[in-house]
Amino acid sequence: MSALGLFAAVASSYKVFIGLATVLFLAVSFLRIYLSYKYARLPPGPPPDWKGKYVEPRGRSWLALEQMQHEYGPIIAIRNGPFQPPNIYITRAEPVLELLEKRGATTGDRPSNYVASQGMGLLFARYGDKFRRLRKAVHQLLMPKMAESYGPLSERAARNMLRDILDDSTNFKDIFHTYASSVINSMTFAKRNKTHYSDPSLVQALAWNRELVVAVTPGGYKRQLQDYLDKIRGVQQEMLEGQAPPSFVKYMTEKQDEYGLTQEELAWLSGSLYHAGSDTAAVTINHGLLAAAKRPAAQIKVKAELDMVVGNDRTPSFDDLPNLPYLNAFIREVYRWRSPNPRGFPHRMMQDEELNDYIIPKDSLVYGVHWCLHRDPSLFDDVDTFKPERWLETDEKGELRLRQDMQHFTWGFGRRNCPGLHIAERSIFINLAAFDLSEDPSAPINTDPATGYIPAGICSPYPYKVVFRPRQPDLENILGGEELLIDE
Ligand code: HEM
């Protein structure tokens, strides 16, 4: 190559280099301007890494969020990269009620990556027409009047559970799960016979619950759908034979035209009740038990009230609940003390909203962090102390009653709040009302050195044991033999 040719080649690659460098410079500057504009009014939060993403701590994230709020305030943005909407965590009652309750119409969507159940189950349904249809249908099943009508069913399930505990209390966690599952199964599919915690169908359902992801893997998804469809067809077959007792599936099949649900939608809807209600109820019963075992002074007061109202020769029934203010306060304090969903459940923003001078962008996922909300000092004093009395006041006649001016956040928010709350409310009651509970010195309930808290939750790895002493000396006889959940 001649000297001239060489010069031309160098000059041309130099130009290419300058051109590329300019494009890169402009792109980076543009991105910086775009991001500074985009994040200008985002709530504060921990600094992201070089990819623009903050990696959230795994496990017990609510404890990390509790720490973060001291630095960033009660509305925390966690960035997910330059082109992904952030997660917004709210740790105080006032802003969470403002956004998720008052502006429920624009904050009632769910994340789109929750394709579990293909959006057909209510828990994961995107906001829109289908959601409204599903929610209306579930409301029919779970509204307070209906919850009352399931009283006998859940009482029978509860008596079966108490018998199981008398037989072998070391399995109490499995037994709680069985109870929570059998109540939902009987309401939904009119399952009559008692479920045992080793029943293959229960073991399978619990496994699915743990791995919601299975719903998005083709094989798991199909098996799960098939299982729910089989159950629905079983009820519909009984309907044809004129032998179906009342159940959600029966009701929905009769009203198919009104609700316009396909068989598949009904299958997923029924299944989502199970997913939403079984683990949560079991965890909550377990928290009640931990509280009772660790707080003997409060338990003595529960016992005194029960002795007065229920006496010793029968098991308590759900009709007793309104007459037991201290026990009700105890249960509310259990919700506050150990929230069953401590991190909260995601609501997806359907449009930009302004909140306390910040912009909460469209598509971001907003969590009301139950753990922090239940420790909000503007609502609760002395937050580490288990204190049922905080929920009580004395009326004009000098009698105890629940305070009406206090609230907890256990059931979530706005248009996505838990429709199963009336069913769930009864679940801890029946256990606490039947047993005096204490720690078993051979496997005590120790404080977790990592967090400083008593290990909460049914999945806790700590092998603690609890001693169940029947409140009625003659409990075994009072309970009698095993029962069908629904009359033949
Ligand atoms: C102690 C037990 C329970 C707790 C703590 C609980 C809590 C919750 C929470 C926090 C949510 C999400 C609320 C939100 O997004 O703001 C929820 C949703 C839901 N729960 Fe419950 N739940 C319990 C029991 C039940 C039961 C027994 C059922 C059914 C029989 C049930 C059915 C549902 C359904 C269907 C949803 C989805 C609602 C929607 O997305 O529109 N839950 N629950």
pLDDT at 216 over 70: no
Q: Rounded to 10 degrees, what is the CA torsion of 54, 60, 63, 64?
A: -20
**Residue 467 pairs with which residues in a beta bridge?**
438
Nearest-atom index, ligand 1, CA of 110: 40
Q: What is the mean pLDDT of residues 231-255?
A: 89
- Indicate which residue's Cα is closest to atom 1 of ligand 1: 281
User: Is the C-beta atom of 281 inside 6 A of ligand 1?
Assistant: yes
Residue range 123-180, pLDDT digits in tens: 888 898 888 888 888 887 777 666 667 777 778 888 888 888 888 888 888 888 888 8
User: Is the C-beta atom of 271 inside 6 A of ligand 1?
Assistant: no
Tokens standing for 416? 């996505």
- Indicate which residue's Cα is closest to atom 11 of ligand 1: 418
Q: How far is it, in rounded angstroms, from Cα 457 to Cα 281?
A: 11
By DSSP bridging, strand 365-368 and strand 87-90 are parallel
pLDDT at 485 over 90: no
Residue range 202-211, pLDDT digits in tens: 776 666 666 5
- Indicate which residue's Cα is closest to atom 40 of ligand 1: 123
**pLDDT score recorded for residue 35:** 67
76 touches 47 (CB < 8 A): no
Residue range 386-401, pLDDT digits in tens: 999 999 999 999 999 9
User: Is the C-beta atom of 95 inside 6 A of ligand 1?
Assistant: no
Residue, of 177 and 406, whose pLDDT is higher: 406
Residue from 280, 371, 417, 422 whose mutation best tests the ligand 1 pocket (most atoms within 8 A of CB)? 280
- Indicate which residue's Cα is closest to atom 2 of ligand 1: 281
**pLDDT score recorded for residue 213:** 43
**pLDDT score recorded for residue 414:** 95
One-character DSSP codes across 142-192: HSHHHHHHTHHHHHHHHHHHHHHHHH-GGGHHHHHHHHHHHHHHHHHH---
**pLDDT score recorded for residue 67:** 94
User: Is the C-beta atom of 137 inside 6 A of ligand 1?
Assistant: no
118 touches 152 (CB < 8 A): no
Residue range 302-354, pLDDT digits in tens: 999 999 999 888 888 888 988 999 999 999 999 999 888 899 999 999 999 99
- Indicate which residue's Cα is closest to atom 27 of ligand 1: 277
Residue range 223-239, pLDDT digits in tens: 778 888 998 999 999 99
Distance from residue 261's CA to the centre of ligand 1 (Å): 21
Residue from 332, 418, 425, 428 whose mutation best tests the ligand 1 pocket (most atoms within 8 A of CB)? 418
Give one word for 21, left, alpha or beta, with left for phi > 0 and alpha for psi -120 to 50.
alpha
Tokens standing for 18? 């300058």
User: Is the C-beta atom of 280 inside 6 A of ligand 1?
Assistant: yes
Distance from residue 280's CA to the centre of ligand 1 (Å): 8
Nearest-atom index, ligand 1, CA of 425: 1
Residue range 259-307, pLDDT digits in tens: 888 888 888 888 888 778 888 888 888 888 888 888 889 999 999 999 9
Nearest-atom index, ligand 1, CA of 131: 41
The owner of tokens 């047993």 is 435
Q: What is the mean pLDDT of residues 6-24?
A: 81
**pLDDT score recorded for residue 488:** 61
Distance from residue 418's CA to the centre of ligand 1 (Å): 4
User: Is the C-beta atom of 154 inside 6 A of ligand 1?
Assistant: no
User: Is the C-beta atom of 419 inside 6 A of ligand 1?
Assistant: yes
pLDDT, the chain, mean? 84
Q: What is the mean pLDDT of residues 18-38?
A: 78
**pLDDT score recorded for residue 444:** 76
pLDDT at 248 over 80: yes
- Indicate which residue's Cα is closest to atom 43 of ligand 1: 418
User: Is the C-beta atom of 111 inside 6 A of ligand 1?
Assistant: no
Residue range 45-94, pLDDT digits in tens: 999 888 888 888 777 889 999 999 999 999 999 999 888 899 999 999 99
Distance from residue 180's CA to the centre of ligand 1 (Å): 13
User: Is the C-beta atom of 108 inside 6 A of ligand 1?
Assistant: no
- DSSP structure class, residue 215: G
- Indicate which residue's Cα is closest to atom 37 of ligand 1: 123
**pLDDT score recorded for residue 215:** 47
Hey, what domains does the chain have and what are their CATH numbers? 129-340+375-408+410-480 (1.10.630.10)
**pLDDT score recorded for residue 214:** 46
Residue, of 252 and 9, whose pLDDT is higher: 252
Tokens standing for 246? 């009342």
Residue, of 444 and 438, whose pLDDT is higher: 438
Name the percent of the chain lying above pLDDT 70. 88
Contact residues for 301 (Cβ-Cβ < 8 A; gap 6+): 326, 330, 388
Distance from residue 412's CA to the centre of ligand 1 (Å): 8
Q: ipTM score here?
A: 0.98
The interaxial angle of helices 263-294 and 129-142, nearest 10 deg, is 50
One-character DSSP codes across 256-311: HHHHT--HHHHHHHHHHHHHHHHHHHHHHHHHHHHHHHH-HHHHHHHHHHHHHHT-
Residue, of 458 and 246, whose pLDDT is higher: 246
Distance from residue 421's CA to the centre of ligand 1 (Å): 7
Of 208-217, 320-329, 415-424, the poorest mean pLDDT is in 208-217
pLDDT confidence of 1, banded at 50, 70, 90? low
Tell me the residue length of the chain.
488
User: Is the C-beta atom of 122 inside 6 A of ligand 1?
Assistant: yes
User: Is the C-beta atom of 424 inside 6 A of ligand 1?
Assistant: yes
**pLDDT score recorded for residue 9:** 77
Tokens standing for 477? 């006889």
418 is in an annotated binding site: yes
pLDDT confidence of 438, banded at 50, 70, 90? confident
197 touches 175 (CB < 8 A): yes
